């Protein structure tokens, strides 16, 4: 559903402009606040809604099939590592959901590959990727190959 921005909550900070994957959240030149310039290119991905520090952005269902009167609100908290949703139906029914978004502090457990041990010549010449064969086998064996798995690639019609 296309996004819209509440006039009284938006302070024109531009977080939504910065994050929108579709490049449709722009700052209005007169009001110095954000708005959706192209609703029919909006995927309702909620990236801008989640990024807004003032909860100034919401979504109103696509006019061609969604009636007015409901809302789906969200609060994404990077520090807590959670996302909270509140769905309010047109008839007033409410549903709430809470999910984790990460299990670790942001970025800390991603290795800096520039500092990893340089790959050996064998590894460069072979087919293994970084960190392999860890995780790709049940046993201690290496990468699966046609030979190891008793396979050939044959031309023709096979089902």
Active site residues: 43
Three-class HEC string of 29-90 = CCCCCEEECCHHHCCCCCHHHHHCCCCCEEECCCCCCCCCCCEEEEEEECCCCEEEEEEECC
Contact 56, 27 (CB under 8 A): no
Residue whose CB is less far from another protein, 11 or 44: 44
**Smallest distance, Å, CB 7 to another protein?**
20
Q: Does 45 bind another protein (CB under 8 A)?
A: yes
| List 8, 79, 109, 120, residue binding another protein (CB under 8 A) | 109
Could you tell me which residues come within 8 angstroms of residue 5 by beta carbon, excluding any fewer than 6 positions away? 16, 33, 34, 35, 36, 56, 57
Q: Does 119 bind another protein (CB under 8 A)?
A: yes
Residue whose CB is less far from another protein, 114 or 122: 114
Footprint of another protein on 74-93 (CB under 8 A)? 74, 76, 83, 85, 87-91, 93
Q: Does 69 bind another protein (CB under 8 A)?
A: yes
């Amino acid at each position: 559903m296309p996004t819209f921005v509440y006039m009284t909550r938006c302070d024109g900070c531009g977080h939504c402009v910065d994050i929108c994957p579709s490049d449709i959240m722009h700052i209005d030149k007169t009001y110095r606040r954000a708005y959706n310039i192209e609703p029919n290119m909006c995927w309702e991905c909620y990236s801008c809604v989640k990024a807004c520090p003032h909860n100034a952005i919401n979504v109103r269902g696509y006019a061609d099939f969604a009636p007015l009167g409901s809302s789906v609100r969200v609060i994404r908290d990077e520090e807590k590592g959670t996302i909270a949703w509140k769905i309010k139906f047109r008839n007033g029914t409410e549903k709430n959901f809470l999910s984790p978004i990460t299990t670790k502090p942001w970025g800390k457990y991603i290795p800096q590959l520039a500092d990893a041990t340089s790959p050996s010549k064998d590894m460069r010449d072979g087919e293994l990727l970084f960190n392999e064969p860890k995780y790709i086998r049940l046993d201690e064996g290496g990468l699966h190959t046609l030979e190891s798995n008793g396979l050939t690639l044959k031309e023709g019609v096979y089902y």
